[in-house]
A and B are shown apart, each in its own frame.
Chain A
Amino acid sequence: MTLETEVEALRKVPLFHGIDETKLRLLAFISDRTEYPAGERLCSQGEEGDCAFIILSGAADVLVDTPDGQKKVAETSENSIVGEIAILCDVPRTATLVAVNNMDVLTVSKDDFLKLLKEFPDISLEVMRTLALRLERTTRDLAAARQGAAGS
């Protein structure tokens, strides 16, 4: 796989939707391309997060520690970014990621991603827009949930 294919994959990630191609190429170039065989951990809940993962192929289980042991709460899909919360704000990993099958992942380190944001404000804007959209949706969901709770 070359940069070009990685750029294709990045383009499908919603977060990088409106960003032009050369910047995506730069992002791809400064990220590490890593492979994870099935069963290997990408990260563990509670540890400090120093990078985000962009999944090019394969899938990972999202596991959360509960009093009854680890519990699968979701599964990541191709062309999605996970762990980006950790590189935007300093919080520990909120979940454990374990590869389900052989995965192909682009790892972006926190420092490099922040440098990139500083360097190209339009990427920041795009990231902001995506996060705002998510927040808006979450707020709406919350409101709906509250209404549902009040109505019942």
Chain B
Amino acid sequence: MEKSLFRFIWKYSSRQQIYILLVTVLSYPVVYFLLELPKLIVNDAVQGDNFPKSVFGFDFDQIPYLVLLCFTFLGLVVVSNGLKFYLNVYKGRLGERMLRRLRFELFQRVLRFRLPHFRKVSSGEIIPMITSEVEDVGGFIGEAFALPAYQGGMLIVQLGFIFMQDPLLGLAAVASYPVQGYVIPMLQKRVIILSRKRVKNVRLIADKVGESITGVAEIHANDAAAFHSADISDRLYENFKIRYEIFNRKFLIKFLNNFMNQLTPFFFYLIGGYLVIEGNLSIGALLAVIAAYKDLAGPWKLLLSFYQMTADVSVKYQTVVENFDPKDIYDTDRLTSDENVKLTGDVKFDNVSFSGGAAGQEVMDISLKVPSGEACAIVGPDGSGRSEVLQLAAGLVSASTGKVFIGEHDLDKLTDSTLGREIAYVGGAVHVWSGTIRDNLYYGLRHRPLVLPKREGEDLKNYKRRVSEANETRNPVYDLAADWDDLEAAGVSSVTELDEKALELLEAVQLSKDIYRLGLQSRFDPSMNDTFAEKILSVRQNLAERIVNEPALGGLVELWHQDRFNASASLADNLFFAVPSDPEITMDQVPDLEEVKTFLSETGFDQKLQQIGLKIAETMLELFSNVSGDSGLLGSYSFINQDELPEFERIVRVAKSGQQRPGLSDADRSRLTGLAFKLVPARHRLGVMTDELKEEIIGARKRFLEGVVKNSGSFVAFDPDVYLPPLTIEDNLLFGRARVDRRDARRRIDDVIRAIVEETGLRRPIIYAGFGYHVGVSGSRLSAGQRRRIALVRGLLKNAKITILDDIATGMTEDDKALRDGLRNILAGKTFLFGTFNADIAAEFDQRIVLDQGRISDKG
């Protein structure tokens, strides 16, 4: 990578830089005329004579001549500012493109690092380098050549003018330049060193903050907050010291510059004055020189600040780039090549040695052979070199001496496009990506965009622009919106088959039950799959019939019924007989919805609900005011938690006092309404629900349906014949609520639902719905075991010729034993390396290679 910023800029933008220079030069005459014209207008048009004047063969009288000059002036103003605008946009665009190129190059280099290199770098340091640290480079690139050229040119012109007036005065004008040219870089050098120090210190802070976030549970578990606080505080002090010193130096430089610049007029007055008195210089010339010097100060100042900025940005560039140039970095080709060599044949190690850089991470002089199509266990405790051998076999790390072959092919000479497709490797520390379960399962099939989406019109134009910009900055043109799933590699011919195969593997690794449960809890968009929604509706009917016909079931559920109050559901559900279309809207937010507000005030329910809310709040205060907060009673039973208690105490006090002022605010009223909304009459037996009120609520449903649900899309009405997207699949299946006043009603009705789902063949689509479950950041919403199993299925789905598992399914339980049997079945006829620490597990395999301290101790 280019070590110096200027080399980088010149290499990738020389044409554009020259173009910027040309346009800048082109703007010289415009600027010059713009400065000349006012003089011409005053001297020639206003005060001049000899009219009419002839311009381009036309004769002009004084007034038309004035008008002509003024309009020319206006025209030049437009042209010169237009040029400036154009140039600024051009420079900005160039800067952004170069920045994009730089950032992408840096990211690609991260991908090209060899695995052991990541032991030395941390993401906390790399991330700010790619994001914030190079930011200034973008702004600088557009100016890199144009500014010194333009301002330098100005400076030379002005200097030439002064020298022509009087060489001695010229010398006086530049007298301070050598001093400045010597002193300022000296001072700047120190600033550069400090800047580097600062950048490194900030990186360290970023790294420490990142580490604290990852290890936050450890911090609390060990009461180490004080230690970390002290650590960060120390670093921040370091940062302060460095910055303070930088400020000192920077302002010293500024002070020196200003001083020197004002020293020169001193020489002018002294030497020039002397020359005028002696009669060697006319007073007019002296005044002209002083005026020229004033013009000189501008460019000179700009050049100096440009110099400082160059130093600053260069050092930032270098401190970033030097981290991305390890000696052993992979070729770009390893990432970008699409060559897919078929890896058939035995896995063979020829006197392979490798060292991960620490004790227990090395293998020494290993030779082994696993015949093609056979299963072999690699046995050894952690630190025996087992993981290293498996990573070597997967081509993830390279041997320092010796060679690893599969068939005829030396793994070190192959690219990712072969290794990542022909070999499936699942290591002990799996990573699950943020995204859905489906994204994660099919991750191993997404090597290149395969089927490009059809684009037309505006969409096509945007796409073309995206591609041309990518080409402009040497970014890849892979289309993210394309279909990436390589069905052929997975050995299937359609997406449905792929889903089926994934399900089959999920069953094999015993994960399908978990995903079924996730599927029941998930929401799905019925417009995506009509038949599935219809099936759910038919199960709903089936269930409803059984509930009506079987008294034992009927006592467990209260179904939604247009004309009946559902005592097991909240007051809000009962009143609206609908749910917000956006499932993210919580019960506390509902009273603030505009539609709800109008509806409540129109029907007079606002007062009633507030009264109910008030009654609830009062009761809660009465019941729980003597209960201590840490008993846990408050949290689990009250509508109000400990923190809100004082707030509601105030609201109740104000409401009871009956004061008009200050009275209850709108927010207070909303809170009371929200409290009332959460009331589930069968559970909270507060005696606020009278039969009369129930009638009114049922009556109001129709108005809500007519007035709100039909007119706005923000609510979806309960309707036995319609799938309700905001509810989970489970709630859609059971069109009602399990009774809260019957013991275990929820569990018993769940069993019934499960049975019906199995009967009707809905289990499969529900699992597919579970594929859409979002796993959270790095799979945080899954358990560690689920993450491993998902990674395992991901590896198996690749249908690779060689499968390598390390420390996966190595439990002694019956489940894990069955899983291993299943794996051997699935992978029958393929090369299968299975890493484990346990000799008993290894005994299940026909072939075994035992490792001890980096050497093979036994084969069998």
A33 touches B741 (CB 8 A): yes
A4: CB under 8 A from chain B? yes
> How would residues 36 to 80 of chain A score, 1 for a CB under 8 Å from any chain B CB and 0 otherwise?
110000100000000000000000000000000000000000000
B631 touches A115 (CB 8 A): yes
**Which of chain A's residues 6-40 have a Cβ closer than 8 Å to chain B?**
6, 22, 25-26, 28-30, 32-37
B555: CB under 8 A from chain A? yes
**Which of chain B's residues 708-745 have a Cβ closer than 8 Å to chain A?**
740-743
B686 touches A3 (CB 8 A): yes
Question: What's the least CB distance linking A88 to chain B, in Å?
Answer: 18
Question: What's the least CB distance linking A4 to chain B, in Å?
Answer: 6
Question: What's the least CB distance linking B687 to chain A, in Å?
Answer: 3
- Given A22-B622, A22-B623, A34-B743, A1 and B685 touching (CB < 8 A)? yes
B627: CB under 8 A from chain A? yes
A96: CB under 8 A from chain B? no
Q: Which residues of chain B come closer than 8 Å to A141, judged between CB atoms?
A: none
Query: Which size class do B's interface residues fall under?
Result: 20 to 34
B741 touches A35 (CB 8 A): yes
Q: Which residues of chain A come closer than 8 Å to B682, judged between CB atoms?
A: 33
Q: Measured between alpha carbons, how far is A116 from B633 in the docked complex, in Å? A: 8
Main secondary structure of the interface of A (DSSP, over half): helix
Question: What's the least CB distance linking B636 to chain A, in Å?
Answer: 8
- Given A29-B623, A32-B741, A115 and B633 touching (CB < 8 A)? yes
Q: Measured between alpha carbons, how far is A37 from B554 in the docked complex, in Å? A: 12
A-B contact count (CB 8 A): 59
B624: CB under 8 A from chain A? yes
B71: CB under 8 A from chain A? no
Q: Which residues of chain A come closer than 8 Å to B684, judged between CB atoms?
A: 29
Q: Measured between alpha carbons, how far is A37 from B550 in the docked complex, in Å? A: 14
Q: Measured between alpha carbons, how far is A26 from B741 in the docked complex, in Å? A: 18
Q: Measured between alpha carbons, how far is A115 from B631 in the docked complex, in Å? A: 6
B742 contact from A1, A3, A34, Cβ within 8 A = A34
B683: CB under 8 A from chain A? yes
Q: Measured between alpha carbons, how far is A46 from B436 in the docked complex, in Å? A: 45
Query: Which size class do A's interface residues fall under?
Result: 20 to 34
B622, B633, B637: residue with the most chain A Cβ atoms closer than 10 Å: B633
Q: Measured between alpha carbons, how far is A36 from B744 in the docked complex, in Å? A: 11
> How would residues 824 to 857 of chain B score, 1 for a CB under 8 Å from any chain A CB and 0 otherwise?
0000000000000000000000000000000000
Q: Measured between alpha carbons, how far is A36 from B555 in the docked complex, in Å? A: 9
Q: Which residues of chain A come closer than 8 Å to B743, judged between CB atoms?
A: 32, 34, 36, 42, 107
B687 contact from A4, A30, A33, Cβ within 8 A = A4
B740 touches A26 (CB 8 A): no
Question: What's the least CB distance linking A16 to chain B, in Å?
Answer: 16
B624 contact from A26, A28, A33, A120, Cβ within 8 A = A26
> How would residues 87 to 115 of chain A score, 1 for a CB under 8 Å from any chain B CB and 0 otherwise?
00000000000000000000100001001
B622, B631, B685, B686: residue with the most chain A Cβ atoms closer than 10 Å: B685
A26 touches B623 (CB 8 A): yes
Q: Measured between alpha carbons, how far is A145 from B637 in the docked complex, in Å? A: 47
Question: What's the least CB distance linking B352 to chain A, in Å?
Answer: 58
Q: Which residues of chain B come closer than 8 Å to A112, judged between CB atoms?
A: 633, 636-637
A118: CB under 8 A from chain B? yes
A37 touches B740 (CB 8 A): no
> How would residues 613 to 657 of chain B score, 1 for a CB under 8 Å from any chain A CB and 0 otherwise?
000000100111011100111001100000000000000000000
Q: Which 10 A-B pairs have the closest CB atoms?
A: A2-B687, A26-B623, A30-B637, A119-B631, A115-B631, A34-B743, A34-B741, A2-B685, A115-B633, A33-B741
Contacts A25-B623, A30-B636 aside, 11 further interface pairs with beta carbons under 8 A come to: A1-B685, A2-B685, A2-B687, A3-B687, A29-B637, A29-B684, A32-B741, A33-B683, A36-B743, A37-B555, A107-B743
Which residues of A are interface residues toward B (Cβ below 8 A)? 1-4, 6, 22, 25-26, 28-30, 32-37, 42, 107, 112, 115-116, 118-120
A-B contact pairs, 24 of them (CB 8 A): A1-B685, A2-B686, A3-B619, A22-B622, A22-B626, A26-B627, A26-B633, A29-B619, A29-B623, A29-B684, A29-B685, A30-B636, A32-B683, A32-B740, A32-B741, A33-B683, A34-B742, A35-B741, A35-B742, A37-B555, A107-B743, A112-B637, A115-B631, A119-B627
